[in-house]
Chains A and B, each alone.
Chain A
Amino acid sequence: GQNIDQPTEMTATEGAIVQINCTYQTSGFNGLFWYQQHAGEAPTFLSYNVLDGLEEKGRFSSFLSRSKGYSYLLLKELQMKDSASYLCAVSDSNYQLIWGAGTKLIIKP
């Protein structure tokens, strides 16, 4: 079967760095997405990786290793507004999106 694993919940301190991991087992791979979802709001797109390596966008970076079936989202200089759920999703060989259950990130002052 197809599976996406990410931690259920993480806690970090304002101003620090946090890494949210995502591992996947899917039938084929056509890219990996990260979305941010604040409570009661729409998921919003953060990043897309299809090639191995690190993609940086301001305070957020996303890394992909296709051989290991692994990605992470790196958040730097954490702010209170970064408290949210972070969703990992993989596009499989049929171009279907397979979603993880999300990681709830709690930022403490």
Chain B
Amino acid sequence: ETGVTQTPRHLVMGMTNKKSLKCEQHLGHNAMYWYKQSAKKPLELMFVYSLEERVENNSVPSRFSPECPNSSHLFLHLHTLQPEDSALYLCASSQDVEAASNQPQHFGDGTRLSIL
């Protein structure tokens, strides 16, 4: 139990579908992150939120839309995805963005996304 919960664990969707991934952290952290993990590739940072404000957007396609309604919840809305978007999507949190440089991030188990 890492204190970060992601749902669903698995998701299969067609390219025209719209779905959302959910992340909830119970650690009282102020920063939350979305990562994409593809086989044999480094973790790709997608979005960073600090106190519900987006502070980082690493050139992610607009078909991925994040939402952070409060410091405990983070969503990733998906629409019109492509087959190359199939991957494991990981959510993480840290005390704050600056602390992530010397304090560990806490990860959820991820959502395994498959695009048909």
Binding site for B on A (CB under 8 A): 4, 8, 30-31, 33, 35, 40-45, 48, 50, 87, 89, 91, 95-102
- Residue in B4, B100, B101, B108 with the greatest tally of chain A CB atoms within 10 Å: B101
Binding site for A on B (CB under 8 A): 2, 4, 40-43, 45, 90, 97-98, 100-110, 112
Q: Which residues of B contact A44 (CB under 8 A)?
A: 2, 107
Classify the secondary structure of B's interface with A: loop
Q: Which residues of A contact B45 (CB under 8 A)?
A: 96-97
Contact A95 B101 (CB under 8 A): yes
Q: Which residues of A contact B109 (CB under 8 A)?
A: 40-42
- Residue in B90, B97, B103, B107 with the greatest tally of chain A CB atoms within 10 Å: B107
Of all chain B residues, which has the CB nearest A87? B43
Tell me the complex Cα distance, A50–B101, Å: 10
Some 25 contacts from A to B, beta carbons below 8 A apart, are A8-B40, A35-B104, A40-B112, A42-B2, A42-B90, A42-B107, A42-B108, A42-B110, A43-B90, A43-B107, A45-B104, A48-B104, A89-B43, A91-B100, A91-B101, A95-B97, A95-B98, A97-B45, A97-B101, A97-B105, A99-B42, A100-B42, A101-B40, A101-B41, A102-B40
Nearest 7 CB-CB pairings of A with B: A45-B104, A95-B101, A42-B107, A99-B42, A99-B43, A91-B101, A42-B109
